[in-house]
Amino acid sequence: MTGIDFAQMKIKNLLRNMRNNPLLWKYNRLLICMVSFTMFINLSCGSDQAVKAPADVVIAKSPEEIEEKIEEQLKQSIDFILNNGDKMKDSTVIPHIDALNKVYTSGAYQPLWSDKGNWLPRGDSLFFLVSKAKEFGLFPSDYHLLPLLAIRNKIVTDTVARKNVALWARADLLLSDAYLLMASHLKYGHFDRDSITVSNDSLFNTTKQVDVLKNGIVQGQLRSTLESLEPVHQGYKQIRELLPRFLDTAQFREYTIITFPNPDSTAVYGEVAKRLQEAGLLAADWNPADSATYTKAVKTYQQANGIRTTGVAAELTIKSLNNTDWEKFKRIAITLDRYRQQIPEHMPETFVWVNLPAYQLTVVDTDTVVMQSKIIVGAVKTRTPVLSSEITNFITYPQWTVPYSIIFKEMLPKIQEDITYLEKQNLMVVDKYDSVVNPAEVEWNKVTRNNFPYLIRQRQGDDNSLGLMKFNFRNKYAVYLHDTNARGLFGKKDRALSHGCVRVQEWEKLSRFLVRNDEIRYNPDTIKAWIGRQEKHIISDFARVPIYIRYFTIEAKDDKLRFFDDIYGEDRFLADRYFKSKPIS
């Protein structure tokens, strides 16, 4: 009997006694209301404790009896979870219990995945989907794999357990919740929402959850129903198609992750040694004082992995040691989640895609890549932000107004040391009226953020840091795309070098694309002539083109998964926050 049932019984008894005494009934109707209200409040506050926990063992003597008893067991289990903070008796969280309550109530509390002590084909199919969740870029342990596996093994090996209705009911609820968890993660990802999240997981409400579960069962297409929730973006599809091949050859083991950079060189030495021991390159009984054997092991690893053989475990070697198959899988999972959360369901017909770790800008028009360009992005200390916007205009022969952060962090010490630094860098000081100020009149040694009423600008021309062209798009970070006067830097492999803006090698091609539909006024010769005459022009009368600046460290190319450096450590941050405790299942 539940707490509410008990309250109702007590109130009925009270009313019965009062009806037998007319005087009591006449003068105590108010008392009846007060007693009823008080009992309701007291019992409601303690209702969690009043709901009886389901039994761990409910033995049925026959398959028919399993069918009879499982209805009561499922109802009791759901009631308990609803009144126990969405948790089962063993504290297993069932986050979609409201949807499950509706599904099982409408189905008269009949099991969805088994029948009379036997798994239904769809029950086997769903368990297989959970066990193969990595093929979706998901972690099987998130979907009750271990408790489900334990139940299935117990039922197979223990004839008494096979008759335990409580086990069957528990497995049914775990499987149903696992399906909805997979659906939610495939549609909306794992991570907290931020400024560029385009989907809203609140849309996956109870009604939607019920529909997803029922559709998968009714249509008999559990996998295809889940796949229908995934992004349709081509980049996502290509990674997903190659993921099973990666999993076939991956060797998942727990390895020591080396903390780097780390000012404690002794700690780095110890972590590298432990990692080499795990790889079988250093004996388990190796003596830390034996640096020669350690150096030899490092060289062996470097030679096997195409790293310059120095015997010193520096940045490249440590990155390689940390880049295990398990860590790669986490990065794949992170990238797929970024697609789920950061990419619109339907991309615009034309857009500019900037992938920071790839150091690449891509222009897509009607599903066709029409141009690509190398780029230079923000350094680690001055990162280029991820954002979504639209290119509104571009400027030939732009003038650079130096941000105050650069003035005070980088330029001021050089100016104070040698005032001719301004002239050498083609810089001028201007006041609030845009009038040029003689730098010799400024007391640079007394300059602070609070007493500098000027701007520093770089004169336009070949020496200008923005180069010959700048592309503007609205954003709160004051970043933009531009050419550069240091074009030789595009030859470097690692190009996280800027103050936050994105330098574009093929800036001229990008400008031509933006005005492609107005060849009369803006043909290639026109723009070239402006540049040749060193003329400043602002071109804004073209259709605005969406631009997406993103941080995707993995892409599919030439039928292979390509891993880019985690230049800002974003993958490491997310892996540690969301996936650090995931078991290798």
CATH number, residue 522:
2.40.440.10
Distance CA 353, CA 347 (A): 11
The verdict on 173 and 219 lying in the same domain is: yes
> Are 15 and 157 members of one domain?
no
Residue 177 maps to a domain? yes
What is the reported pLDDT for 254?
84
Same domain for 442 and 396: yes
190 domain residue, yes or no: yes
Q: Quick one: tokens of 539?
A: 């071109």
**CB distance 510 to 371 below 8 Å:** yes
Q: Is residue 112 part of a domain?
A: yes
User: Is the confidence at residue 41, as pLDDT, over 50?
Assistant: no
| Residue 278 reports pLDDT greater than 60 | yes
| Sign of the alpha-carbon torsion through 535, 540, 546, 550 | positive
Residue 16 shares a structural domain with residue 97: no
Query: Mean of the pLDDT values across residues 415-434?
Result: 90
Pair (28, 169) in one structural domain = no
Contact 458, 322 (CB under 8 A): no
How does pLDDT run across 473-490, given as a tens digit for each residue? 999 999 999 999 899 999
Strand partners, 365: 350, 368
User: Do 362 and 414 belong together in one domain?
Assistant: yes
What pTM, to 2 d.p., does this model score?
Answer: 0.84
Residue 473 lies in a domain: yes
Q: Mean pLDDT, the chain, as a whole number?
A: 89
183 domain-assigned: yes
Tokens of 50: 């009043």
Mean pLDDT of 414-428: 91
pLDDT at 42 over 70: no
The DSSP secondary structure of 420-451, one letter per residue, reads THHHHTTEEEE-TTS-EE-GGGS-GGG--GGG
Asked whether residue 215 falls in the same domain as residue 356, the answer is: no
Cβ pair 556, 562 in contact under 8 A: yes
CA–CA separation, 420 and 33 (whole Å):
90
Higher pLDDT, 8 or 504: 504
Determine the average pLDDT of the residues in 367-390.
96
Same-domain check for residues 15 and 146:
no
Task: Tell how strand 350-355 and strand 545-550 pair up.
Answer: parallel
Asked if 35 and 81 sit in the same domain, the reply is no
Residues 88 and 209 in one domain: yes
Q: Which of 233, 482, 499, 537 is catalytic?
A: 482
Burial class of residue 552, CB neighbours in 10 A (0-12, 13-18, 19+): buried
Beta bridge partners of residue 388, listed in sequence order: 548
Number of structural domains found in the chain: 3
The last residue of a domain, from among 211, 229, 247: 229
User: For residues 339 and 167, what is the distance between their CA atoms, to the nearest angstrom?
Assistant: 38
pLDDT reported for residue 164: 96
Provide DSSP, 477-524: T---EE--S-GGGGG-S--EEESSSEEETTHHHHHHHHTTT-TTTS-H
Shared domain for 128 and 42, answered yes or no, is no
Q: Is 499 a catalytic residue?
A: no
Burial class (CB in 10 A: 0-12, 13-18, 19+), 244: exposed
Question: Which of 253, 259, 299, 312 is closest to 278 using CA atoms?
Answer: 253
The yes-or-no verdict on residue 224 having pLDDT over 70 is yes
336 occurs within a structural domain: no
Query: Is residue 482 among the annotated active site residues?
Result: yes
Q: With the C-alpha atoms ordered 455, 459, 465, 468, is the resulting torsion angle positive or negative? A: positive
Percent of the chain scoring above 90 in pLDDT: 75
Q: What range does the domain containing 482 cover?
A: 349-557
Percent of the chain with pLDDT over 70: 90
Query: What CA–CA distance (Å, rounded) separates 407 from 423?
Result: 15
Identify whether residues 38 and 115 lie together within a single domain.
no
- Is residue 326 in some structural domain? no
Compute the average pLDDT of residues 249-261: 90
In-domain check, residue 401: yes
